[in-house]
């Protein structure tokens, strides 16, 4: 089992729709979870972090965390063509007292006008 | 601008050469990282330094040698470059464990091509 799993996509949604991106992780002890957006040829950009079970909203983005199910998701409301990118789920795992981020392989999102 | 910066942005070299990539952050962070993103876009940690001390070494070949002269700088030297080293290398930084904030911020990347 991979440490962090995501559907590679592409996930295609029309402009204005809600895009739902999902991620599962293997380490039950993980406490910190992140979503990064990466445009082609660019570096990963942090868009959301979540530490507690439930929902966290920031503008059009909502992160959802369910530690019991080892599941984290990202909802993008009113999707725009500029949201087209690869979304990387990252989970903080402890390594000898220090954190390391383990990334999923990313889900490619395509928002069509 | 506050940021994580890397040089060079592009690096094209031949097999067997030695090259270095430099990283600097002015975010006041204590912890810095090197990541490798391969052709399939998988992003994997290579090394982490906390205040100049190596804390994570993810079984990277010893041809790769990181060096941190101070907590704002982390360099990566690669000896005897191989074709498989071609990738994008990202530097990142974060606040240390005790801060309660584990967000990592990435530099723009260095695209290394070995021919």
Chain A contact set for B102 (CB, 8 A): 32, 49, 92, 99
Interchain proximity B97–A32, CB inside 8 Å = no
First to last CA, chain B: 35
Query: Would you say A38 and A106 are in contact if contact means Cβ atoms under 8 Å apart?
Result: yes
The minimum CA-CA distance between B42 and chain A, rounded to whole Å, is 5
Interchain proximity B90–A49, CB inside 8 Å = no
DSSP states of B67-79: EEEETTEEEEEE-
Per-residue pLDDT of B31-73, as tens digits, reads 999 999 998 889 999 999 988 888 888 878 999 999 999 999 9
Kindly report the number of other CB atoms within 10 A of residue A3's CB atom.
Answer: 14
Per-residue pLDDT of A40-72, as tens digits, reads 999 999 999 999 999 999 999 999 999 999 999
Q: Beta strand pairing status for B10-13 and B110-114?
A: parallel
Chain A contact set for B105 (CB, 8 A): 46
The minimum CA-CA distance between A45 and chain B, rounded to whole Å, is 7
**Mean pLDDT, chain A, whole residue set:** 94
**Interatomic CA distance for residues B28 and B64, integer angstroms:** 26
Interchain proximity B104–A49, CB inside 8 Å = no
Question: Which residue, chain included where needed, has tokens 């967000």?
Answer: B103
Closest by CA position to B19, among listed B82, B108, B100, B70: B82
Tell me the pLDDT band of B2, cut-offs 50, 70 and 90: low
**Interatomic CA distance for residues A76 and A40, integer angstroms:** 19
Chain B contact set for A34 (CB, 8 A): 103-104
Size of interface A-B (CB pairs under 8 A): 55
Closest by CA position to B65, among listed B81, B50, B84: B81
pLDDT the model gives residue B1: 66
């Amino acid at each position: 089992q991979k440490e962090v799993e995501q559907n590679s996509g592409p996930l295609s949604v029309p402009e204005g729709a809600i895009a739902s991106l999902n991620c599962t992780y293997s380490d039950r002890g993980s406490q910190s979870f992140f979503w990064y957006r990466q445009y082609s040829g660019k570096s990963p950009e942090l868009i959301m972090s979540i530490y507690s079970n439930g929902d966290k909203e920031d503008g059009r983005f909502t992160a959802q965390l369910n530690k019991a199910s080892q599941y984290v998701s990202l909802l993008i409301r009113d999707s725009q063509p500029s949201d087209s990118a690869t979304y990387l789920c990252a989970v903080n795992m402890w390594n000898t007292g220090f954190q390391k981020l383990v990334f999923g392989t990313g889900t490619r999102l395509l928002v069509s006008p | 601008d506050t940021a994580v910066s890397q040089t060079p942005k592009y690096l094209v070299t031949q097999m067997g050469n030695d090259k270095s990539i430099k990283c600097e952050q002015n975010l006041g962070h204590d912890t810095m990282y090197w990541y490798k993103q391969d052709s399939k876009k998988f992003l994997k940690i290579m090394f982490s330094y906390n205040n100049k001390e190596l804390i994570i070494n993810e079984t990277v070949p010893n041809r790769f040698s990181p060096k941190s002269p101070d907590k704002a700088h982390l360099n990566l030297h690669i000896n005897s470059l191989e074709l498989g080293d071609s990738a994008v290398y990202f530097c990142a930084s974060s606040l240390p464990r005790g801060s309660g904030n584990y967000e990592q911020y990435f530099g723009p990347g260095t695209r290394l091509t070995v021919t």
